Amino acid sequence: MNPLGSKPVSANVLDAAIAWQLSMDGANPVEREEFAKWHAAHEEHARAWRQLGMLDQRFSAASGPARTALLQSREGIRRRVRKLGNGVASVVAVIGLALFAGPRYLPIDYWLADQRTAVGEQRTLRLADGTLVNLNTHSALDVRFDEKQRRIVLQEGEILVETGHGDPRPFIVETRDGSMRALGTRFLVKREEEGTRLSVLQSAVAVHPESSPDEQILREGQQVLIRNNGLGPVLAVNFGADAWTRGMLVVDNTRLEDLVHEIGRYRTGHTGVAPEVADLRITGSFPLRDTDLALNALLPTLPVQIEQHTQWWVKVVAKAETKP
């Protein structure tokens, strides 16, 4: 049973709830009306707001240095949930967040990882063996090198790996769904709700699902969804799959809802789509370092408009008909 008595909420909705709580003290009547609309728009919004309040009570009950550190300013909620400090306060915050968010959303392993990126942040790491690892938005990994193997554990998000050469130790990327052994290669690994997606850009990768004795080799240009108990069908790598490493999102005949969801991974807060336009299709390239520009790029192509209720709540809806 969830310790807070209800289901977990997604990262985007959590972000929006935090943002609303930070802004409500000095909110004007218009902003309070917008908050009421957000709160009533979806059951998950109300659940996030309720759970955030319960989490805040849990933090407020902390004693000693933890309580002092957590309650020092109006920014306390954001720091408690998103920007962890050092010492006892960090431990309280991490445990509280794990209880609040549940195992599938913002897991504790993300906050304790060796390397992680925030929403909208990207970073490149050079490991001790010369391997380059690009971390995409909201990603986290642990590096576990020893005398027998080079191992990366991807806890959250997405990475691009270009393995270093001249090291005889096997290079392995692990997730909770299985392991991927590089065969002198460049490849993408992405954690998704249904499993882990591997896309091989160069050379080959040997794939081993966690609960399966079988191993399969994927070649350049192939992708597969790895589940704990097996592999999905082998497909061609999506065009522009690694474009995010160059700050772009490339799509080809993609549903609008899927595109907006992907853009939302790079924004703090809630980014939604009205059901009546969710199935529209679009092809194009969109900048990830300016997601407002990316959303506005939809307007010349599709019959939609952008509703920006607040800085943290944006929705793509059908374009209003103009009266003659």
**How many Å is the Cα radius of gyration of the chain?**
21
In a domain, 61, yes or no: yes
Residues 127 and 211 in one domain: yes
Residues 74 and 162 in one domain: no
In a domain, 324, yes or no: no
CATH number at residue 271: 3.55.50.30
Residues 164 and 79 in one domain: no
Residues 132 and 105 in one domain: no
Residues 84 and 126 in one domain: no
pLDDT digits (tens, 9 = 90+) for 74-106: 334 444 444 433 333 444 444 444 444 443 344
Angle, helices 43-60/29-41, rounded to nearest 10 degrees:
110
Q: What is the DSSP letter of 31?
A: H
Residues 102 and 57 in one domain: yes
In a domain, 6, yes or no: no
In a domain, 283, yes or no: yes
Residues 94 and 22 in one domain: yes
CB count in 10 Å sphere of residue 27: 14
- Buried b vs exposed e over 72-100: b needs ≥16 C-beta within 10 Å? eeeebbebbbbebeeebbbebbbebbbbb
Q: 215 is in which domain, residue-wise?
A: 115-236
DSSP 246-270: GTEEEEEEEEHHHHHHHHHTTSSSE
Domain boundary at 88, 112, 136, which?
112
Domain boundary at 80, 112, 144, which?
112
Give me the number of domains the chain comprises: 3
Residues 61 and 101 in one domain: yes
DSSP 197-244: EEEEEESEEEEEETT-S--EEEETTEEEEEETTEE---EEPPTTTTGG
CB contact at 8 A, 267 and 286: no
Residues 122 and 204 in one domain: yes
- Buried b vs exposed e over 278-302: b needs ≥16 C-beta within 10 Å? eebebeeebebeebeebbebbeeeb
CA distances for 71 relative to 60, 86, 257, angstroms: 8, 15, 39
Residues 208 and 308 in one domain: no
Count of helix runs (H) and strand runs (E) in the chain: 9, 20
Residues 122 and 219 in one domain: yes
Residues 98 and 39 in one domain: yes
CB contact at 8 A, 317 and 269: no
Domain boundary at 82, 112, 142, which?
112
In a domain, 3, yes or no: no
In a domain, 307, yes or no: yes
In a domain, 211, yes or no: yes
From first to last of the 324 residues of the chain, give the pLDDT tens digit: 344 334 666 666 776 776 776 666 566 777 777 888 888 888 888 887 776 665 544 444 444 444 344 334 333 444 444 443 333 344 444 444 444 444 334 456 777 889 999 999 999 999 999 999 999 999 999 999 999 999 999 999 999 999 988 899 999 999 999 999 999 889 999 999 899 999 999 999 999 999 988 899 999 999 999 999 999 999 999 989 999 999 999 999 999 999 999 999 999 888 999 999 999 999 999 999 999 999 999 999 999 999 988 888 899 999 987 545
In a domain, 301, yes or no: yes
pLDDT digits (tens, 9 = 90+) for 211-260: 988 899 999 999 999 999 999 999 999 989 999 999 999 999 999 999 99
CB contact at 8 A, 242 and 160: yes
CATH number at residue 145: 2.60.120.1440
